Structure 1
Amino acid sequence: MASKKNIVVVGGGSGGSLVAKTLAGKIPSAQVTLINPVDYLVSRPTLPRMTVSDQNDLLETALVPFDKLFTTPNGKFVKGLVETIQANEKGGNVVLTDGQQIAYDFLVLAPGSIWEGPLDIPEDAAGAKAFVAQQRAAFSKASKIVLVGGGAVGIEFAGEIKDIWPTKEVTIVHGEKGLLNSTYTASFRNGMEKGLHARGINIILDDFVDDIPTDGSPVKTRKGHSIEADLVVSTRGPRPRTAFIAQSLGEDVLDKRGQIKVQPTLQLIGHSNIFALGDAIDYVEQKQVMKAMAHSGIVTANIVALASGSTKLKPYKGSTEMIIVTNGKNGGRAYIGMLWGIVLGDWFARMIKSKTLLVPMTRGNMGY
């Protein structure tokens, strides 16, 4: 390579961490810097179980530090929050909220999402522990719980609650005609619903909750349902964490939903040295950890190519839609978008995800 390259990765989720680790190994002459607001990766699939009850060790195992991520000396972690991107044709700087500036030749944006409710975990270790304790206390105290949102998050919260407290009254309100969304087959969605009904979970479909009460008053839906609840939990989908990108690079880099517009090579339009991946990009697919990891392979290959002087880049062609949704520690269902749509039941969900929530794999990827 003609000169040492500075590669900066913003966002230390599963995709961003993998890009940083892989690039540091593949380009030994480059300085790779990973920037994240906290000094650990949050394994988000664990949060329904972690925040519902203290009958697990997830608070100790699912917040995985970055101190073992890099296996080569050219990788560095910086704890901080990016405020501004100063971009030009050949590189630029990212400016942190503390005023620190970090130069880049290549920039990777993996900012992730903004969540609500128990998934909105604070960005500091002490705050995270206090937040989790607060959530556990709220679930323990409540006897009638309403979950607003019947995607994977709402389903998994319902299952975790019933594991610990089988007699608590749990209701899911979901805006679609079936749980999850139409990416998945009716047989998969109906089977998921039957599994929840078997555990005594109430499900209200094709209806919405616009205002989440915090004073113990009944939950009102658009269609007139009134649901008694002493705890109402938002389990709706997230919003992309991209405001700082638009403020720096212009509103036209985002679509109307706030997602980052990318080319098939996962480069930003008009910024050939800036890449994006994960939940925050506008590629039409389900937003999942495994998708972010698939993106990371494309981003890594393309940065290696550009850094070595090649202009032959790989396009991202999408990934097979797959999902495993847990129903507590011992159940759930899986969908694999091949052939007619393969559906697998409790035994498969339990073996792959429900028991461990993929924590050993996540820790292994982080060097633990």
Structure 2
Amino acid sequence: RRASLAGSTGGDDDAGDAAAAAAEAEAAAEAYDELLPTRTVRTTNGRLIEAQVVYTCVGQVAAVEYIVASPSLRRHITSGGLLSVDEDLRVRGHDNVFAIGDVIDHVSREQKLAHTAELSGMAAAENVVRLFEGRPTLPYPRGFAHAAKTPRIVVITLGRWEAVLRFNNVVLSGWVGRRVAAVAKAVIEWSKMLQARRRRVGLWFWWLGDEAALLLNRTVCPPPDGDEPVR
């Protein structure tokens, strides 16, 4: 369980409010229930809950400490502790500073997922190249994914041969689905390590995988309508 954050009432240009918002975000990160080593959870009101397995899925807050230290950037931290960017992923008020991933407050209101963080990184890299070449930057995600939303892809491991996989409205669960999802999770991790090492099979796998995901997202398996992203 995570403590809620109180929003700042000041303007975006107030550096004091930005620093306070970052401090609140840091405090909230420490306000979780206590997980004891004996598979027991102690809630904030002192209740003890025994369990055979405990999954810690409490989320996290953006790491904005280095941004708060920059006078030119900290005024663009929102009351929620995120860095405000425009549609092209540029920090507001800066023509040549981009931000990506979990730290940004973007008009798309995407969930903070690994795949969406990678896509925003690719889009920002493309826009940096366009700046150097004197071409107009592209809006995210439509200019990059050719859709109003990027695909929502989640794979959660629940054991050695258990996992749940979601691609937009399609969810793999049940006895067979959980095992297929577990294999998919293993392949994702293996291929991602190869990509990070610049191995050809990993690079090709993820190029093809990203293109296939974006194609499915804008054709046969679009994002859900009215499914409000979690920030």
Q: Check whether TM > 0.5.
A: yes
CA–CA separation in structure 1 for the residues paired with 2:35 and 2:162? 31
TM-score, L = length of structure 2: 0.57
Q: Deviations over 1:119-166 (max 9, x none)?
A: xxxxxxxxxxxxxxxxxxxxxxxxxxxxxxxxxxxxxxxxxxxxxxxx
Report what 1:259 is aligned to. 82
In proportion to residue count, which structure has more helix? Answer: 2
The answer to whether the 8 A contact 1:265-1:299 is kept is yes
Q: The residue matched to 2:155 in structure 1 has which SS?
A: strand
Q: Which of 214, 224, 247 in structure 1 is aligned with 2:69?
A: 247
Map 1:99-178 onto structure 2 (within 5 A): none
Q: CA deviation at 1:267?
A: 0.3
In structure 2, stretches of 5+ residues that fail to align are 1-25, 142-148, 200-231
1:49-68 to structure 2, matched below 5 A, reads none
Identical pairs, percent:
26
Check whether the contact 1:330–1:346 (CA below 8 A) recurs between aligned residues. yes
Q: Is 1:273 aligned to residue 104 of structure 2?
A: no
- Compared CA separation, residues 346 and 267, structure 1 to 2 (3 A): same
Closer/same/farther in 2, CA of residues 363 and 227 from structure 1, 3 Å limit: same
Aligned length: 157
**Matching residue within 82, 98, 123 for 1:298:** 123
2:181 counterpart letter in structure 1: A
TM-score (norm 1): 0.37
SS class of match (1:268): coil
From the superposition, tell whether residues 211 and 292 of structure 1 become closer, same or farther in structure 2 (CA, over 3 Å). Answer: closer
Could you tell me which of 140, 147, 170 is aligned with 1:342?
170
Paired residue secondary structure (1:267):
coil
Mapped to 1, the partners of 2:182 and 2:55 lie a distance apart of 25
- Alignment partner of 2:138 out of 314, 319, 330: 314
Output the aligned Cα RMSD: 3.4
Task: Tell me if the contact between 1:332 and 1:346 (Cα under 8 Å) persists in the aligned partners.
Answer: yes
Query: Whole-Å Cα distance in 1 between the matches of residues 48 and 97 of structure 2?
Result: 49
The equivalent of 1:188 in structure 2 is none
Alignment pair present for 1:330 and 2:161: yes
Could you tell me which of 192, 195, 198 is aligned with 1:367?
198
The Cα shift of 1:321 comes to 1.2
Q: d(CA) in 2 for partners of 1:214 and 1:350?
A: 27
Report the residue type matching 1:246 in the other structure.
V
Matched with 2:212 is none
Q: Secondary structure at the match of 1:325?
A: strand
Confirm or deny: 8 A CA contact 1:329 1:350 kept in the other structure: yes
Q: Which runs of 5+ in 1 are unaligned?
A: 1-113, 118-208
- Which amino acid is the alignment partner of residue 309 of structure 1? G
More RCO (CA 8 Å, sep 6+): 1
Q: Residues 298-346 of structure 1: CA distance to partner in whole angstroms, max 9, x if unpaired?
A: 1122111110122x11111231212111221212121121xxx111222
Following superposition, the deviation at residue 351 of structure 1 comes to 2.7
Paired residues of 2:36 and 2:42 also in contact (CA < 8 A): no
Deviation at 1:258, TM superposition (A): 1.6
Does the 8 Å contact 2:86/2:92 carry over to 1?
A: yes
Structure with the larger strand share = 1
Deviation by residue 1:224-265 (Cα, 9 ceiling, x = unmatched)? 742258x98854212211111122024321112221111110
Q: Is the 8 A contact 2:42 2:49 kept in 1?
A: yes
Q: Which residue of 2 aligns with 1:111?
A: none
Whether 1:351 and 2:183 are equivalent positions in the alignment is yes
For the 8 Å contact 1:212–1:232, the answer to whether it is kept is no
C-alpha contact 1:268 1:274 (8 A) present in aligned 2? yes
1:214 to partner: Cα distance: 6.1
Task: Report the more deviating stretch, 284-293 or 257-266.
Answer: 284-293
Report what 1:19 is aligned to: none
Deviations for 1:40-71, whole angstroms, at most 9, x for unmatched residues? xxxxxxxxxxxxxxxxxxxxxxxxxxxxxxxx
Aligned mates of 1:245, 1:364 — CA distance in 2 = 29
Q: Counterparts of 2:151 and 2:86 in 1: how far apart (Å)? A: 19
**Which residue matches 2:207?**
none
